[in-house]
Every structure is written in structure tokens, then in C-alpha cells.
Amino acid sequence: LTSREAKAEDTIVRIGDVRVGDGTFTVMAGPCSIESEEQLLESAYIAKKGGAQILRGGAFKPRTSPYSFQGMEEDGLKLLAKAREKTGMPVVTEVVNPADVDLVEAYADILQVGARNVQNFALLKKIGQSRKPVLLKRGMMTTIEELLMSAEYILSAGNEQVILCERGIRTFETATRNTLDISAVPVLKELTHLPVVIDPSHATGHWKYVIPLSRAALAVGADGIIVEMHPQPEKAFCDGAQSLKPETFYELMEELKRMEYLL
């Protein structure tokens, strides 16, 4: 169902007034994790002011260490709903556990499946039963073919509103957190009708590389980016090193506008 043979024309994923995959470049921005009302609302106003279309923020965090901050859970989801109310921006947030899909669905506009859960087939089946759009991230060790099979789980369960996300894969290179597989974009565009976005934040692990890789995303034909931004990255509970500070986020948005005009 994900293949071009099954459907030739591009799928456009609709989230309220936002269209992902319609030829425009969509920016999803916000903190890695929701930390407090003040932090999330501030992030939301910055995202909106910069011109992002969708607010991101994690309430359930899949952390490598069990001792790291695990997220605000339902309290975080409530804050996301509040941020949407205040700004009018749709929100994307990760669901980690199949048992939490109903809860997350009640608050989120887009359900995010994280890299670590790309082959959690119970989660994919459950999300396939939802009618909410899905942001499906490629795993750090999954091939493009495997990513498409994971998307197939969601589509075959009846949910066709899937956005694919390349967020960097594991290679021998250690200078960046992961290695952005930029060629995944044209390869996926050939194989599937689903929209493809890039996550330059998790791909590199460093805010300095986020603007250049975002430019690459636009140039290579991606449908958008999902980028981490924090009012005070040095104080972030999670992924501060790769989070843009507000002024760098505004700079990114200006650069993308200039580039879109040139392309």
C-alpha cells in the first residue's frame, strides 16, 4: 500500500489547515520534552513567531537510561493541548506504549512513533486503528525497505495518513550523533507516495549543524523538517546540545524562506 505502484500520486497528510506533502515545506518545531507550562508556552510562541506550522514536544520520552527524565506524561499532554489552544498550532507528540495510544490520541494532532519503536509491531498495529496522522521515524538501524514495511503495518490497518521521517542512522562516524542519510529522501520519493521529512536535530546531535542540514532537506526535496528548539537549551532536561536557541531558530526560518523563494 505504501508503494508508488499501489498509488502513483503523492499523499497529502492533512492536519487541520496544514498540509504535509503538497509541495510546500512544513516546519515542526519545539522542545525535545515538555518540562513545564512556562517552557512549553514560551516554545510555542517562539515556534509560531518564527513561522513553524506544527509544535512538537515529548510527554512520553524513550530514554536510554531509566534514570533520565521520562517525561511529564498526561500532565505534559494537557500542556500541549493548552499550547494549541493559545497558538492555534497543531501538535505532534510521541507515543511509546501501545497501551497509551488512546490517551495520546485524545490530545495530539499527530502521533509520533520514535526511532526506537519503528519495529514495535504491536504499537504500529494499534496506531493503524487510529484516524490521527502519524509521524513514523526511521530507526537508527533500519533499512529504507524495513521503514516502508513498518509504514505498511499502519496503512494495512486502515490509517493512510503517514509521514515518514529520516532522523539519522548509526554508522562508524562519531563526529555527529548519527549520520543523516540524505539519499533516503530521493529513494523514498521514488518508492513511495508518502511525505518525507527530515529531523536534523537527532541526525547530528549538535545545534550548529541544524541549519546546514535543514538547507539540505529543502534542497533534496523533503516535505519538511522536525527540529528541536528550546527557550534556554542549556537548561533543557533532554537534548539541549542539539536544541536551537530562539534566535538561531529565527535565523533558520529566515534562511528557509529565502531558499524557498530561490527554488
Residues that bind ligand PEP (CB under 6 A): 32, 58, 62, 114-116, 137, 167, 199, 202
Q: Which is nearer to ligand PEP, 115 or 123 (CB)?
A: 115
Q: Which is nearer to ligand PEP, 32 or 91 (CB)?
A: 32
Identify the H or E element spanning 254.
helix 246-262
Amino acid at 4: R
- Contact pick of 27, 32, 123, 217 for Mn ion (by CB under 5 A): 32
Angle (nearest 5°) at CA 33 between 30 and 39: 65
Q: CA-to-CA distance for 140 and 33, rounded, in angstroms? A: 20
Q: Which is nearer to ligand PEP, 137 or 193 (CB)?
A: 137
Q: Which does 115 bind (CB under 5 to 8 A by kind): Mn ion, ligand PEP, none?
A: ligand PEP
Q: Which is nearer to ligand PEP, 118 or 253 (CB)?
A: 118
From the list 44, 62, 36, the residue with the least C-alpha distance to 239 is 62
| Position with the least CB separation from ligand PEP | 114
Examine residue 229 and tell whether it contacts Mn ion (CB under 5 A): no
Examine residue 194 and tell whether it contacts Mn ion (CB under 5 A): no
Q: Which is nearer to Mn ion, 98 or 205 (CB)?
A: 205
Residues in the chain: 263
Is the Cβ–Cβ distance between 228 and 200 less than 8 Å? no
Q: What are phi and psi of 15, to 5 degrees?
A: -130, 95
Examine residue 35 and tell whether it contacts Mn ion (CB under 5 A): no
Q: What are phi and psi of 179, to 5 degrees?
A: -115, 120
Examine residue 59 and tell whether it contacts Mn ion (CB under 5 A): no
> Would you state the cell numbers that stand for residue 238, as one nine-digit string?
533532554
Shortest Å, Cβ 62 to ligand PEP: 6
Identify the H or E element spanning 29.
strand 26-30
Q: Which does 84 bind (CB under 5 to 8 A by kind): ligand PEP, Mn ion, none?
A: none
Characterize the bridge pairing of strands 18-20 and 13-15. antiparallel
- Contact pick of 72, 239, 246, 252 for Mn ion (by CB under 5 A): 239
* Interface ranges with Mn ion (CB under 5 A): 32, 239
